[in-house]
Structure 1
């Protein structure tokens, strides 16, 4: 069909990866207690040990690239809430002090994010953390702290695939994201301000997870759509924000949605999130390209920091 072909061509990133053999890794660490402030340290340690073993197994298998990625995550300075080195891999990493954070951002990535490409996802999270901790504001007190969480908690679709044009992977990821946010509420301080920052296909995940999601703000950047016709149709109590830079090719994605006869599969993601018809709070991303929303010094990063800090009146609107 022409529509799936057009969508597949529009939603892919310039960077693609070749198929690679399965890399051996241990099953994820078993955590016997729920995440709480008191158990965070033991969770971090268990997941670091698991990443170290995954690195050893990958190296023995001859995959030096995966071994290096796993080894980096096993460093004592890394705080992993979850790690799974099997297949394309998954990881959830905290930057900052989650036990005292009053403002928490959860980054949800888009297509082709795996353990092999994780460093670029981590750079985005680290860039936001730096922007937050150096953010000038009169409203914060010295006791206010922030945390950023890089949530690679689902199998992202390949950038060149029919899967990237449907909500299938997002539908699989949505209950995991909702469960993670529920658990996060028990590990973070009561009343902490929680923001989801959802990039590209990650905005589809956030859109499918939105009903019942315990978030205060949801920001969609570089979004091809959410699978919903409007912000109201997301059925969330969170404020919904959206932005797209003028250099982002995702602007050329056809904003349509259609069912494939006899398959139960829907292709396309519907209304453009930065359109008036969608009804989100559209903020300025200036000239950001599709991978540029977390670039240090950019208008988009400054606004994402303001949203994360709850400084909604300071967000510059598009």
Structure 2
């Protein structure tokens, strides 16, 4: 007996399946760290100075002591590493899951700056991938630009239904804009990974001083139309990235928008697509990766 052909669901149907699965998974989701107490940070001195870095370091140390005092060992260990005198942060706020912006290179004199905008599952406790990517990019740049690792918004988790909407991205836009205003007059390249691409896509029309926007490993651009921006927009996806399975649709409902918009590597997105090799979703800034070399050239103005 012949088996009937396999019928795949439509994109809209697939989106409905993902939404239902995500909503069910929220019940079993682990705590995100947003419930861990932290002190109110002090307002750091203005400018990009060592005095500012030292003041922010004191806020990190205070948050580490509070986390340890409440028995949150994993958070305390992560903050202890962040408070190392060799590291420099433009800002830090340990409340509501934690926010930070770490600096690599001489930000005060840099004419070019790369800002890393991370995606889902990035947090104070899960900071290693963002840190390793920033260090790899700084090494590839060879001093031609400074790098800022920006953890400036509560990223959605894998089990969070917010991962399927641009809501978290919209909430992140004012903080990203504030950072970019501080970095002027440097020429800034936004490097937007995974859900971070949705953040950059929603922010694109409102960002000062940005010359290039790079979307890699992106589930969408955050909009159903090409980005409205004066910046050059680049896109890349490795052949082994599971993000290619995400349906690129956007459905407006009365109280929420579901879906993350255009596929940035599709022709209709109007981006400059470059090859990224055969790595996985987290391999774009891995040392030696083809994408890393190209991204460094974009940041340096050599692409």
Q: TM-score, normalised by structure 2?
A: 0.89
Q: Which residue does 1:117 correspond to in 2? A: 126
Supply the distance in 1 between the matched residues of 2:266 and 2:20 (Cα, whole angstroms).
22
Supply the distance in 1 between the matched residues of 2:206 and 2:220 (Cα, whole angstroms).
19
Query: 1:223 and 1:8, CA in 2 relative to 1: closer, same or farther beyond 3 A?
Result: farther
User: Are 2:212 and 1:217 aligned?
Assistant: yes
Partner residue of 2:73 out of 44, 48, 64? 64
Would you say the 8 A contact 2:29–2:160 is kept in 1?
no
Per-residue CA distance 1:133-162 (angstroms, 9 max, x = gap): 1xxxxxxxxxx7421000000111121121
Q: Which residue does 1:178 correspond to in 2? A: 177
Deviation at 1:87, TM superposition (A): 3.0
Q: Which residue does 1:160 correspond to in 2? A: 159
Query: 1:246 and 1:201, CA in 2 relative to 1: closer, same or farther beyond 3 A?
Result: same
How many residues get paired? 284
Partner residue of 1:251 out of 244, 248, 255? 244
User: Are 2:263 and 1:272 aligned?
Assistant: yes
Supply the distance in 2 between the matched residues of 1:225 and 1:116 (Cα, whole angstroms).
26
Deviation at 1:2, TM superposition (A): 5.9
User: Are 2:32 and 1:23 aligned?
Assistant: no
Supply the distance in 1 between the matched residues of 2:32 and 2:225 (Cα, whole angstroms).
39
Deviation at 1:7, TM superposition (A): 5.7
Supply the distance in 2 between the matched residues of 1:4 and 1:92 (Cα, whole angstroms).
36
* Unaligned ranges ≥5, structure 2: 1-12, 23-27
- Aligned counterparts, 1:262-301, within 5 A: 262-263=254-255, 265-301=256-292
Deviation at 1:266, TM superposition (A): 0.6
- Aligned counterparts, 1:63-142, within 5 A: 63-133=72-142
Deviation at 1:27, TM superposition (A): 1.1
Would you say the 8 A contact 1:8–1:160 is kept in 2?
no
Query: 1:20 and 1:251, CA in 2 relative to 1: closer, same or farther beyond 3 A?
Result: closer
Name the SS of the counterpart of 1:305 in structure 2. helix
Query: 1:281 and 1:8, CA in 2 relative to 1: closer, same or farther beyond 3 A?
Result: farther
Deviation at 1:239, TM superposition (A): 0.2
Deviation at 1:6, TM superposition (A): 2.1
Per-residue CA distance 1:153-196 (angstroms, 9 max, x = gap): 011112112111001000100121112101121xxxx4x32100
Per-residue CA distance 1:249-274 (angstroms, 9 max, x = gap): 000100100012x32x1101222100
Q: Provide the alpha-carbon RMSD of the alignment.
A: 1.9
Per-residue CA distance 1:253-309 (angstroms, 9 max, x = gap): 00100012x32x110122210011111000110112111101100101001101110
Q: Which residue does 2:50 correspond to in 1? A: 41
Q: Which residue does 1:136 correspond to in 2? A: none
Would you say the 8 A contact 2:123–2:155 is kept in 1?
yes
Supply the distance in 2 between the matched residues of 1:227 and 1:298 (Cα, whole angstroms).
26
Per-residue CA distance 1:22-64 (angstroms, 9 max, x = gap): 2221112213x53x24xx2222111100111111111111121
- Aligned counterparts, 1:231-250, within 5 A: 231=226, 234-250=227-243
* Unaligned ranges ≥5, structure 1: 11-15, 134-143, 313-318
